[in-house]
Amino acid sequence: MLQISEIVKKTEKMFDLFNKYFYHGELTRPAIIVSPDSGRGAYGWCSIHEIWNAENELYLEINLCAEYLDRPITEIAATLILKNMPSTAGRFYLYYILEKRKNL
């Protein structure tokens, strides 16, 4: 049986790879969590504010909905990047914009 901790670790590795490839490692890794959909009807979402505080460091959140983790890995990866735009931006681009905004 696959553990949630393994899923989060693999997702963090995907984030790191996308960050390296698309943004040259400039992004801070967010808190990546798994939780129920709660009626949003989404595969996942990204917070727009730093809502996680660990040792006085603030982090954005990327949530993956537990109900949809049995999808192919390519679809889970698409939740991190892009599904409905013509370039490879999507949620990852949103995260990039939010990350840059806090440095203004």
- Percent of the chain at pLDDT > 70 equals 74
Domain, as residue range, for 51: 4-101
Q: Which residue has the higher pLDDT, 82 or 49?
A: 49
Is residue 88 scored above 70 in pLDDT?
no
pTM over 0.85: no
Q: Is the dihedral of CA 9, 10, 13, 19 positive or negative?
A: negative
Q: Which residue from 11, 36, 16, 35 is spatially nearest to 26, judged by alpha carbons? A: 16
Q: What is the pLDDT of residues 16-44, one digit of tens each?
A: 988 888 778 888 888 888 988 877 677 88
What is the number of structural domains in the chain? 1
Buried b / exposed e along 62-98 (16+ C-beta atoms within 10 A): bbbbeeebeeeeeebbbbbbbeeeeeeebbbbbbbeb
